[in-house]
Amino acid sequence: MRTSKRWLAALTTTAIVGVASAAQAEPITIEFWHGLGGDTGKALEKITDGFNESQDAYQIKPVYKGNYTETMTAAISAFRAQEQPAIVQVFEVGTATMMNAEGAIYPVHQLMDDQDVAFDEDDYIPAVASYYTTTDGEMLSMPFNSSSPVMWYNKDAFEAAGLDPNQPPETWSEVAEYSRKIMDNGYECGFSIGWQSWVAIENFSAWHNSPIGTKQNGFGGLDTELVFNNDLVTRHIADLREWQQEGIFQYGGRRGESLPMFINGKCAMWLNSSAYYGGIKSQADFEFGQAFLPHYADVEDAPQNSIIGGATLWVLRGKDNEQYQGVARFFDYLSQPEVQFTWHQDTGYVPITTAAYELAQEEGYYEENPGTDTAIKQLSLNEPTPNSKGLRFGNFVQIRDVINEELEAVWSGDKSAEDALDSAVERGNQLLRKFERQNAS
Amino acid sequence: MLKRVHFKHPVLPYLLVAPQLAVTLVFFIWPAGQALWQSMLVEDAFGLSTEFVWFENYLALLSDPQYLNSIKVTVVFTVSVTALGIGSGLFLASMADRVIRFATGYRTLLITPYAVAPAVAGVLWLFMFNPTVGILAYLMHGLGISWNPLVNGSDAMVMVIIAAAWKQISYNFVFFLAGLQSIPRSLIEAAAIDGAGPFRRFWTVIFPLLSPTTFFLMVVNLVYAFFETFATIHATTSGGPANATNIMVYKVYRDGFEGLDLGSSAAQSVVLMLIVIALTIIQFRYVEKRVEYGT
């Protein structure tokens, strides 16, 4: 019915105005591949629907392509087959791969400039913007869903153990101490961790202002080397192993598989992304809170600031100018404070522009939902240093696999923290050399 | 002896095999050739810069402890899946063969798992064995067995072997049952009259007569364990923990599709292809000679 009406309208318009305007009748479809399923995927569709209804010329078509890794590789294979979408969502660890594919990507700052759409990089929160800009300060991809790891904790468990539910532990020794008290009160474990490389190595290093790799964590060039097998990280992994043997810490999988341990009330604390807010809120039947990541009290610069995870939107080359005009308008729409605020509320991702953060404060969102600003507070705790503005290593998807494997060898007792980290760095460096060679121009 | 047929027209025989040749060319030779070509390249993910490196990717594999580990894991996994799948299939088939009442019902139930997709089977077992929410893990903890496939490599291996073999048992069951039913009753009765107990009858009469079936199933199960268990691994352990279940097919996927290292991934798939060719040749040249096909 709709089509026939539109056709009729087009016919009428053609009759009156002339042939030229008939082309305007059908909006231009722009494909947008993403890796967000479930509730987050629905929240994303709410945004694209909002854009599609706001004007007639363009239609953004979101396509779910599986998890982040699958989405990224699907886009790359599509590019090789010249069937690529105009926009693809790529997770933060794919940044180096994308930015080195100069012939394939259309940098966002250039796109906005070419399409005459206003775009100011200073609108974005520094911890987010710095991750995706070149050393010259040019933004390569469009920030979209950024998160940061936080410490989720079970307030009921704290109360039962005689701890103040509004005073979560701040240091690692407190985490251990509180855990013991909580476990004396019938809980099975103190805390668990998800995305261990991101939480226990990448963010742990940034939080303590310690380098993950040379050359400003890879920002300074492809000839970077990993250095996270230092005393600080080794100490942390060794501590975790000890706490694991004591039963305080329990490992529950590489991504978010340990979520049930927290939601079922088995472990009282959980270190993982702030983007689990929606999931925890709908499933946990206890009072929970969000707190800053713990730090070691004797490390001078800690806490510094945490680094982001999540994804940005990359534009791929090989499309018509008309499509790029639509992409630019869509990006402009995305950065509107209202749109960002809605997205922040629906998902738990941080508001990526200063204006959206201020809007959330004005609306009293954080008073009504205490703790939901934890991630953004962590990210903007201090001005990012070369050690804490993020990381940009090639082949980092594989390097994270390596780190996962080596850490699992620690948890199973096959390797000491020192051996595992040395071997992770050695294997990671081989992958960095491979990337350097593959991308040598 | 086959009769030799002569075609008068010189082109006709070629025309007759042309469709088969075309299919082989398009679906086997061409992709295999591409894999061979790709395996000698070092390339970035988008294919924007390419370097030809001869056999460097293969040499890198040989000196990669992760790859050697993956070979070891594959051998353990394949042999276990095949043995468990064939053993259980044979056991269930010989039990079902004796059942007269409700036989169809039992058989249908036993055959059902084969219809389950590998990924679904994997997730099913993953849930049952999950240390936090799984029923089997709960029972085992109750019995005092420490079980954690997320941390312990051998636990994870046991889990994927069970998940992979469980799916294949039904298939083996069907073939063994058919094999058992084609054995003449008179042979078994004769052995019984001679005083052979059920166990002896099985090993000296029934099992040898089943050898063609067993041989066929061995080939099928080996190929299954080698190539089709990808989804099971992907859905349960993703090759972890610490690479304990990273079988070769899974490593090809991980390095190629996740790591975007197409050169190394292609080299691994070429190695895999050679292994399968070798396995097939060995089986048909040596093992098959020991098999008695009934008359």
Higher pLDDT, B277 or B250: B250
- Burial class for A80, CB neighbours closer than 10 Å (0-12, 13-18, 19+): middle
Higher pLDDT, A338 or B110: A338
Looking at the predicted structure, is the pLDDT value of residue A153 above 90? Answer: yes
Cα–Cα distance measured from residue A249 to residue A269, given in angstroms and rounded to the nearest whole number: 9
Average pLDDT score over chain A: 91
pLDDT of residue B74: 95
| Domain match, A140 and A155 both | no
Task: Pick the residue from chain A with its C-alpha nearest to B244.
Answer: A405
- A259 and A190, same structural domain? yes
Tell whether the model's pLDDT for residue A371 goes beyond 80. yes
The gap from C-alpha B276 to its chain's centroid, in whole angstroms, comes to 11
Mean pLDDT of chain B: 88
Percentage of chain A modeled with pLDDT above 90: 75
Q: Is some CB atom of chain A closer than 8 A to the CB atom of B78?
A: no
The pLDDT assigned to A16 comes to 47
Residue of B nearest to A415 (CA): B242
Specify the pLDDT at position A4. Answer: 52
Residue B92 in tokens? 């269930």
Token digits for B231?
Answer: 């989804």
In this complex, do B260 and A414 lie within 8 Å of one another by their Cβ atoms?
no
Shortest Cα distance, chain B CAs vs residue A333, angstroms = 29
Helix ranges, A1-118 (H): 2-17, 38-54, 68-80, 95-99, 108-114
Closest residue in A to B41 (Cα–Cα): A438
Return the top range by mean pLDDT from A130-134, A317-321, B203-207. A317-321
- Mean pLDDT confidence for B134-161: 90
The residue-averaged pLDDT of B224-233 equals: 90
| Global confidence as pTM | 0.85
Q: Is residue A398 part of a domain?
A: yes
| Longest alpha-carbon distance in chain A | 82
Tell me whether 0.90 is exceeded by the ipTM.
no
Chain B contact set for A412 (CB, 8 A) = 151-153, 241-242
In this prediction, residue A195 carries a pLDDT of: 95
If asked whether residues A332 and A415 sit together in one domain, one would say no
Asked if A332 and A429 sit in the same domain, the reply is: no
Nearest C-alpha in A relative to B127:
A257
The rounded percent of chain B whose pLDDT value lies above 70 is: 95
**Nearest-CA residue of chain A relative to B156?**
A412
On whether residue A339 sits in a domain, the answer given is yes
B121 pLDDT above the threshold of 60? yes
Residue A20: pLDDT band (50, 70, 90) is very low
Q: Do A261 and B132 touch (CB under 8 A)?
A: yes
B261/A408 CB distance under 8 A = no
Per the domain annotation, does A368 fall within a domain? no
Asked if B150 and A257 come within 8 Å (Cβ–Cβ), the reply is: yes
Residue A17 in this model has a pLDDT that exceeds 60: no
| Per-residue pLDDT at A233 exceeds 90 | yes
CB A376 within 8 A of CB A350: yes
- Across the interface, whether the CB atoms of A76 and B46 are under 8 A apart is answered yes
Q: Is A245 on the interface with B (CB under 8 A)?
A: no
Say what the pLDDT of residue A18 is.
44
Q: Which residue of A has its CA nearest to B153?
A: A412
Query: What residue type is B24 in one-letter code?
Result: T
B51 to chain A: which residues are within 8 Å by CB? 437
Stretch B160-185: mean pLDDT, rounded? 91
Work out the minimum CA distance from A326 to partner chain B, whole angstroms: 25
Q: Are A428 and A394 in contact (CB under 8 A)?
A: no
Q: Give residue B130's pLDDT band: very low, low, confident or very high (50, 70, 90).
A: confident
Q: Based on the domain organization, do A265 and A204 belong to the same domain?
A: yes
H or E segment and range at residue A203: none
Tell me if A256 sits within 8 A of A275, measured CB to CB.
no
B42 touches chain A (CB under 8 A): yes
Interface of B with A in 205-244 (CB under 8 A): 238, 240-243
> Helices B65-98 & B211-223, crossing angle to 10 degrees?
140
Kindly list the residues from chain A whose CB atom is less than 8 angstroms away from the CB atom of residue B41.
none
A247 Cβ neighbours under 8 A, 6+ residues apart: A183, A188, A189, A190
A97 interaction partners in chain B (CB closer than 8 Å):
45, 260
Statement to judge: residues A268 and A351 lie in one domain: no
Show residues of chain B in contact with A266, CB under 8 Å: 132
Instruction: Compute the radius of gyration of chain A from its Cα atoms.
Output: 23
Closest CA to B225 of B288, B290, B163: B163
Is pLDDT above 70 for A140? yes
Length of chain B: 295
Q: Does B198 touch chain A (CB under 8 A)?
A: no
Task: Give per-residue burial for A305-341: e unless 16+ CB within 10 Å, then b.
Answer: bbbbbbbbbbbbeebeeebbbbbbbbbbbbbbbebbb
Residue of chain B nearest A407, judged by CA positions = B242
- Whether A97 is covered by a domain: the verdict is yes
Over 50: is that where the pLDDT of B295 sits? no
A94 and A32 in one domain? yes
Structural domain that includes position A405: 149-306+387-438
Q: What is the pLDDT of residue A1?
A: 43
- Write out the two tokens for A410: 């620690």
Residues A248 and A301 in one domain: yes
**Is A153 contained in some domain?**
yes
Q: Smallest CA–CA separation between A186 and chain B, in Å?
A: 16
Q: B255 CB near a chain A CB, below 8 Å?
A: yes
Over residues A41-63, mean pLDDT: 95
Residue A297 placed within a domain: yes
The whole-angstrom separation of Cα A32 and Cα A49 is 13
3-state helix, strand, coil in chain B (%, to 5): 75, 0, 25
Inter-CA distances, B21 with A176, B11, B30, B35, B108, Å: 68, 14, 12, 20, 39
Q: How many angstroms from the chain centroid is the CA of residue B294?
A: 26
Q: b/e string for A167-198 if b means 16 or more Cβ within 10 A? A: ebbbbbeebbebbebbbeeebebbbbbbbbbb
Cβ proximity of A111 and A93 under 8 Å? no
Neighbour count for residue A292 (Cβ, 10 Å): 18
- pLDDT above 70: residue A2: no
Q: Are A70 and A35 in contact (CB under 8 A)?
A: yes
Nearest-CA distance B223 → chain A (Å): 26
Q: What is the domain-level CATH number for residue A358? A: 3.40.190.10
For residue A93, name the pLDDT band (cuts at 50, 70, 90): confident
pLDDT tier at A14, thresholds 50, 70, 90? very low
Least confident among A60-69, A213-222, B55-64, B111-120: B111-120
Contacts of A214 (CB under 8 A, 6+ apart): A220, A224, A225, A227
Instruction: Give me the mean pLDDT over the A277-288 stretch.
Output: 90
Q: Say whether residue A251 is in contact with chain B using an 8 A CB cutoff.
A: yes
Considering CB atoms only, which of B133, B243, B255 is closest to A405?
Answer: B243
Name the minimum distance, in Å, from the CA of B282 to any CA of chain A: 35
For residues A354 and A124, the answer to whether their CB atoms sit within 8 Å is yes
The predicted-structure confidence for B10-66, as pLDDT tens digits, reads as follows 888 889 999 999 999 999 999 999 999 999 998 888 888 888 999 999 999 999 999
Q: Is A69 on the interface with B (CB under 8 A)?
A: yes
**A318 touches B: beta carbon within 8 Å:** no
Two structure tokens written together for A56:
């007639």
User: Is A265 found in the same domain as A136?
Assistant: no
- Let me know if residue A181 belongs to a domain: yes
Length of chain A: 441
What is the rounded average pLDDT of the residues A303-313? 93
pLDDT band at residue B219 under the 50/70/90 scheme: confident
A22: pLDDT strictly greater than 70: no
CA B79, CA B60: separation in Å to the nearest integer? 27
At residue A45, the pLDDT reads 95
d(CA B295, CA B287): 19
The mean pLDDT value for B187-203 works out to: 89
Distance CA A232, CA A148 (A): 21
Instruction: Please tell me whether residues A252 and A132 are part of one structural domain.
Output: no
Q: How confident is the model at residue A282 (pLDDT cuts 50, 70, 90)?
A: confident
Residues A52 and A116 in one domain: yes
So what's the pLDDT on residue B106? 80
Backbone phi, psi, residue B155, to 5°: -60, -45
Same domain, A261 and A316: no
B261 touches chain A (CB under 8 A): yes
Q: Domain count of chain A?
A: 2
Mean pLDDT over residues B65-91, rounded?
A: 95
* Whole-number percent of chain A with pLDDT over 70: 94
Q: How confident is the model at residue B292 (pLDDT cuts 50, 70, 90)?
A: low
Q: Contact B233/B245 with Cβ under 8 angstroms?
A: yes
Please give the DSSP secondary-structure letter assigned to residue A299.
-
Neighboring chain A residues of B260 at a CB cutoff of 8 Å = 73, 76, 97, 395, 397
Q: Flag whether residue B292 sits within 8 Å of chain A, measured between CB atoms.
A: no
Q: Is residue A79 situated within a structural domain? A: yes
Question: CA–CA distance from A394 to each of A146, B34, B261, B272 (Å)?
Answer: 20, 26, 12, 28
